Structures are given as C-alpha cells and as structure tokens.
Amino acid sequence: ILGEAGLTIPIVYAGNRSCQDEISQIFRKYGLNGWICDNVMPKLNQLKINSARDVIKNIFLNNIVSAKGIKKIEAEISGVLLPTPAAVLKAAELLSKGYLHESGLGEIVLLDIGGATTDVYSIASGHPLRPNAFLRGLEEPFAKRTVEGDLGMRFSALGILKNLSEEDLQLYLEQGIDLAAELEYRSRNVSDLPKSPREVEIDRVIGEICADMAFSRHVGTMETIYTPLGVMYYQTGKDLTNVHYVIGTGGVIIYDEHSKDILKKVVFNPAKPLELRPKDPLFMLDYDYILSAMGLLSFDHPEIALRIMKKRIGLIK
C-alpha cells in the first residue's frame, strides 16, 4: 500500500526480522526511501529502541537539517554531528551512570523548558517499588525522553492556553495575572525577553505550568485494584518516586533566581496522587548550559565530560 501510494518520505521498518528480506524487496521495487532496523519489540512487552533511534537520528541529519545548512558544516568538521536533544540524553545518561572509576549521580530527572518545547528526561529503571505492584503494558527504557510540542515559553504559548481550563485561568486572574493575554502576547512576540520583575514572575508561572503538565505526561501512574486475594497495584509507565536529583536547564530555569520553584512542580503532588513523581529529590541546575556540549564531548572523552558536569552542574541553594 505504501509503495503504490508513491510516498517520498522516509519509511522505517522496525518489525519482525523474518520479514526484513521481503520488506527490503518492496522498498527496492517501488523505489522507496526505506530504512530497516532491529525489531522494537523482540519479546512481548519488552522494548528495544536503540536501533530505531539511531536510524531516525540519521534520517533527521540526512534530510531535515540539510535545509538549514548542516550538511555544509558537516563537510568542514571531523567531529560528531548530533541533534541537541540526543546530545542532552547522552549527557544525562553519563551523568547518571558514571564512567569506569568516576561515579555518577544515580537516578535522575532532567527538565528542559524552551521556547517551543518542554523536554523531560528520566534516567531510571522505573520498576515497581510498591509491594504487590505489577507492571502493566510496555517496560519503558532506562533512558527515556519525552517532548511536548504544545508546551513552550514562546512559540508554543498558545498550546499552554489550550491545555488550561476556564477554572485555571480564573484562579490566575484572582492572583492578578491575565494568563490568557500573557500567553497570547508571548506567542506573537517570540523574541521578547522579560524586562521587569513582573515579567520575570509571569515567565516563571508559565514555566511552572510547562513543568507540571510535561511531567504528568512523562511519569508513570499507579492504579489500585481490589481483588478477592487482596489489594493489587497496576503500574503503567515509570515509577520515579525514588529519583535522587531533579536537574533543570533551559533559559527560563537557568536565568530565574527562583528556578527551584519551577523544578518543584515535578515532585509528588497530592492533587495528582496516582502519578509516581519524585518524593524527596535534591534540585540541581545546569548553570552554564553545558549538557548538550558534554554529550558531544562524551563520545571521545567520557570521563572528562563526566567530571566537568559534576563540577559545573550544582545544587540549587
């Protein structure tokens, strides 16, 4: 069907290995831009995503970014060319796991709020911690990243507005903030930076909303089931209650003197009791905005990259 449709977009096959030869023949027959990678689910409820992730990264670099002149840069450099989110994920994984004799921080959550998206990274097993708890659905990867394209400080400000109820907006009005007007203004003036304490405060409120909503979509949930044998718990997604550190990056977090207020929005919330959020983490900040650079450096010098991160990414006082 895809072949007869005459599609020119990349098509990735990540299914059963036994079908790969047949799929490859179909790609050649119809002249499709086809890519084949390992099965993303080789066993029931077990994900194996690295091969597919690498293929998609190559497609991104080979096609999408060429329109921005990246190909010209690639021809002039000898180092690694990597999308920023992939570099941040690699840095976060290194910071969590450590390297050889240089210890890591353990399980972490990383929050990156930008103008267009809010990215959440969790480097943690996420396995059920509560007795009588069972995992429902797919086991999620140890290093997980989610991207919320409708939650951003400027370009995606209207996406935030669409996710807020009338009751939410009324609560902000009672606090003296016309949030609807503020979000609409920021969506039209994407280059604007806060110039007054009041504007900084409003940006902080928007950042808090992005953090809370994005983390709700990222974190796992627990459902209580009553059976004749007693109470059972079914977990969907990752349990992040015991995560050691929550790390912040992105402009609104780095440049706000009260950045901890934004990061606190990912911790356990009694209003959302089913969400398995961190209960007592420490908060850290990527003060120098180095995570993506350290992800690149880690390809050749992982121990140096790790030491730099441990020195420059510090606790928020």
For 167-223, what is each residue's pLDDT tens digit? 999 999 999 999 999 999 999 999 999 999 999 999 999 999 999 999 999 999 999
Domain end, chosen from 52, 78, 104, is at 78
Q: Are residues 156 and 243 in the same domain?
A: yes
Burial of 197 (0-12, 13-18, 19+ CB in 10 A): exposed
Which pLDDT value is given to residue 93? Answer: 97
Question: What's the rounded Cα separation, in Å, for the pair 77 and 68?
Answer: 16
Number of neighbouring beta carbons within 10 Å of residue 276: 25
Three-class SS of residue 216?
Answer: helix
Amino acid identity for residue 285 in this structure: L
Which pLDDT value is given to residue 80? Answer: 62
Q: Are residues 130 and 251 in the same domain?
A: yes
Domain end, chosen from 78, 96, 113, is at 78
Q: Are residues 17 and 157 in the same domain?
A: no
Question: What's the rounded Cα separation, in Å, for the pair 99 and 305?
Answer: 10
Q: Are residues 92 and 231 in the same domain?
A: yes
The average pLDDT across 229-258 equals: 93
Q: Are residues 141 and 73 in the same domain?
A: no
**Hey, CA dihedral for 122, 127, 131, 136, is it positive or negative?**
positive
Question: What's the rounded Cα separation, in Å, for the pair 12 and 306?
Answer: 34
The alpha carbon of residue 106 and the mean position of all alpha carbons in its chain are separated, in whole angstroms, by 18
- Backbone phi and psi for residue 165, each to the nearest 5 degrees, phi listed first: -85, 170
34 versus 150: the higher-pLDDT residue is 150
Which pLDDT value is given to residue 63? Answer: 66
Digit-coded pLDDT (tens) for 245-265: 999 999 899 999 999 999 999
In this model, does residue 45 exceed pLDDT 80?
Answer: no
Q: Are residues 144 and 282 in the same domain?
A: yes
Q: Are residues 69 and 110 in the same domain?
A: no
DSSP state of 140: P
Q: Are residues 121 and 42 in the same domain?
A: no
- The residue range of the domain holding 2 is 1-78
76 versus 20: the higher-pLDDT residue is 20
Q: Are residues 132 and 258 in the same domain?
A: yes
What's the number of domains the chain is made of?
2
Which residue matches tokens 């027959």? 29
Q: Are residues 8 and 73 in the same domain?
A: yes
Total count of residues recorded for the chain: 317
